[in-house]
A and B are shown apart, each in its own frame.
Chain A
């Protein structure tokens, strides 16, 4: 980690998708302080500075945006979202849910839990590129997080 400030926390179990996402964000200079974690359990450890992250980092050094895949082994994206949004220390972190399908019956639940955005990863690479670019632009550059 180059800096204490993590700009993007990507939680994605598919290394293929992760590579594609990181590549797109890098293209637009938005991957400087990016952390990629492969499952929900690790994401929670990281966000709440527990487990192997205890003493390594502080909860208040929250990432600017969390990109969260729904389908992950052990702890899935919904559970991570629920924990983040129910803790006053982390509630204000923008969370974007990434999923492969708009058929997902969990969409409604995500919104109920207070997700900030919801993105279907398109099969079409151009569409995917565009979605990633817009996502990074919006949450990293346009959106003003509460101080």
Chain B
């Protein structure tokens, strides 16, 4: 069953109107009924008393002359009063002298007349009336009336009350149907408008005001709210539009910058190609013709001349390596990263094998810890290991017992790998220069190299979203770290 608070407002109002009119009607009817009850009792009593007085007055002769027949005749006149069910005359001595019973009644008469007056007993009304002539009492009249008339009347009243209540309810229903609309209709219309707005998101709709009562105030407030929402929406839309405009402006700017960058990148590629091509050609000439000099004129060249051609050749070769390394570095910057799962430990071991096979003179003590597999571009990461491990070999080669340790440790967001050697190390204050192109902390006479290896490492790792750093101490060793995101 539907709870009152969940009912539609129309039903609520109908219920309230019914309840109020019902209670009012009931209270009115009960009051009326009680009044009628007591009024009728009084009337019945008075009527019986009047009849008693008349009968008593008519009975004086019959009593005076002891004529029972007359008395009975007089009493039988009571037949016209159907509610008087019994009547009796007692003589001076209190003996029943004459009696009357209606057709349907059988009762026992009181043996002696009782106290003068009329009174109600539960089932009926009865009383005794002295029969007087002047001041002399000739006898007593007994009258008994059943309460049928009263009950009948009350029944009639009850019927009327019920009819009135029913009619009132019908009338109340019809009136309330019409009148509740004046309250519920604006509310329903307001609710309907609110629903429509929330469904269609059309804040330009307005609720129609039907009067200047509280509902009118509510409608005004509702409409005001809509105006505010509409204003805010408009402001928001404008803001959004401006924002989109800004975004698209910025996008266009970015696109043009991007295009410019791409052009620069292309130019750089062409540049690196032409460097490699055009710079190498003359180098080839220098080295080739120096060799021709050595070969074709060897008899005319003294030792110093041969040394000089040797220096020319070795420097030219070095220039060639520099160009190659620079190209490798620039190629690494342009290459895309293709990530797969890399078996780190086996890759590191492979790299060590390769480096050892290139130079059998190494007598290094290796410590290679188990390392976790990691996601990355396998060729690029292999290059990282090659560069770091070959560095470690190179810079520890002069030690009596060179030692290289490779391992890893987990950290938040990834893994840190390290390559540690006990070689010449470096001065910590220059560690920022380590990873820059062509930056070297040792002379070429001490250790050969072009200063590109660590720059390539830095470029690869930063392309993988990782970091590189190093710790070191002069003549104690160095440790190079790189992190890769897990």
Q: Which residues of B contact A105 (CB under 8 A)?
A: 269, 273
Asked if A99 contacts B277 (CB within 8 A), the reply is yes
* A121: Cβ under 8 A from any B Cβ: yes
Kindly identify which residue among A71, A104, A122 contacts B284, using a CB–CB cutoff of 8 Å: A122
* A142: Cβ under 8 A from any B Cβ: no
Kindly identify which residue among A71, A103, A128 contacts B288, using a CB–CB cutoff of 8 Å: A128
Asked if B317 contacts A124 (CB within 8 A), the reply is yes
A-B contact pairs, 13 of them (CB 8 A): A14-B281, A14-B285, A16-B282, A16-B289, A99-B277, A100-B276, A100-B280, A100-B284, A101-B277, A103-B327, A121-B284, A125-B291, A128-B284
**Number of contact residues on A: which range applies?**
10 to 19
Q: Which residues of A contact B72 (CB under 8 A)?
A: none
* B316: Cβ under 8 A from any A Cβ: yes
Distance between A71 CB and nearest chain B CB, rounded to angstroms: 6
CA distance A126 to B327 in the complex (A): 22
In chain A between 58 and 114, which residues have their CB closer than 8 angstroms to a CB of chain B?
A: 71, 99-101, 103-105
Distance between B281 CB and nearest chain A CB, rounded to angstroms: 5
Distance between A46 CB and nearest chain B CB, rounded to angstroms: 24
Q: Which residues of B contact A103 (CB under 8 A)?
A: 272-273, 276-277, 327, 331
The B interface is mostly helix, strand or loop, or mixed, namely helix
CA distance A81 to B331 in the complex (A): 27
CB nearest to A21 among chain B residues: B288
Given known A16-B285, A16-B288, contact A123–B276 (CB-CB < 8 A): no
* B99: Cβ under 8 A from any A Cβ: no
Question: What residues make up the interface of B, taking CB atoms closer than 8 Å to A?
Answer: 269, 272-273, 276-278, 280-285, 287-292, 313, 316-317, 319-320, 327, 331
Scoring A residues 21 to 35 as 1 if CB is less than 8 Å from chain B, else 0, what string do you get?
001000000000000
Q: Which residues of A contact B319 (CB under 8 A)?
A: 123
Q: Which residues of B contact A104 (CB under 8 A)?
A: 273, 277
CA distance A72 to B482 in the complex (A): 45
Given known A17-B284, A101-B280, A128-B284, contact A123–B273 (CB-CB < 8 A): no
CB nearest to B280 among chain A residues: A100
CB nearest to B272 among chain A residues: A103
Q: Which residues of A contact B283 (CB under 8 A)?
A: 123
CA distance A100 to B280 in the complex (A): 6
Asked if B289 contacts A123 (CB within 8 A), the reply is no
Distance between A99 CB and nearest chain B CB, rounded to angstroms: 7
* A54: Cβ under 8 A from any B Cβ: no
Asked if A123 contacts B291 (CB within 8 A), the reply is no
Q: Which residues of B contact A14 (CB under 8 A)?
A: 281, 285
CA distance A100 to B283 in the complex (A): 10
Q: Which residues of B contact A123 (CB under 8 A)?
A: 280, 283-284, 287, 316-317, 319-320
Asked if A20 contacts B285 (CB within 8 A), the reply is yes
Distance between A22 CB and nearest chain B CB, rounded to angstroms: 11
